[in-house]
Structure 1
């Protein structure tokens, strides 16, 4: 079972999807990047920390909270809304730079994307 957390885009999340409904559907159907997991335990969902570039401190807090609740993150997904923001809305996240930073600092896998819709 993969213990996952999802970071969604604070600025566009409720414009492209209300209440992360697409993520919940994608998890249930193993759609998109969720397909890599046999089973999923969602341990947390939160926003990216907002622009410009507050993702690392946000993930640090998220990691501390989930460990303190004895529900450590194994895989962090950056939501499809984050991917969309990087492609079309001038999001300051550089995934190629952020991924190794988060993986080495926190020890979990980082995946870009969640569902395909």
Structure 2
């Protein structure tokens, strides 16, 4: 079972997808970026916002990682929601995915995936 967490864009989440309904659908149907888990179940251990601009994502994930470990449900894979991907590509989000991925994987041992669903 893969223990995943999802970060969504604090500024545009409910503009592009109310209540993360698209992420929940993608998890349930193993589609989009969740298709990689077809051989195993997904355990959604946490879902929260990115920490807001400009660049509060790393401290937010650090706190989230510590919290989930203390609860006995450590994060194995962190998905940055499709809303975050859209914000990076079209809305001037200051996050550089490649840099963020390296930082989180190196400092927290969490695999990072960009995106959740394709709709």
Q: Is the TM value for this pair above 0.5?
A: yes
Q: State the alpha-carbon separation in 2 of the partners of residues 107 and 63 from structure 1.
A: 10
Gaps of at least 5 residues in structure 2 are none
Q: Name the SS for the 2:19 alignment partner.
A: coil
State the match for 1:24 in structure 2.
24
The 5 Å alignment of 1:39-50 reads: 39-50=41-52
Q: Which residue of 2 aligns with 1:67?
A: 69
SS of 2:18's partner is coil
Unaligned 5+ runs, structure 1:
none
RMSD: 0.5
Deviation at 1:108?
Answer: 1.4
Distance (whole Å) between structure 2 residues aligned to residue 104 and residue 36 of structure 1: 22
> What is the number of equivalent residue pairs in this alignment?
117
Report the TM-score when normalising by structure 2: 0.97
What is the TM-score of this pair, normalised by structure 1?
Answer: 0.98
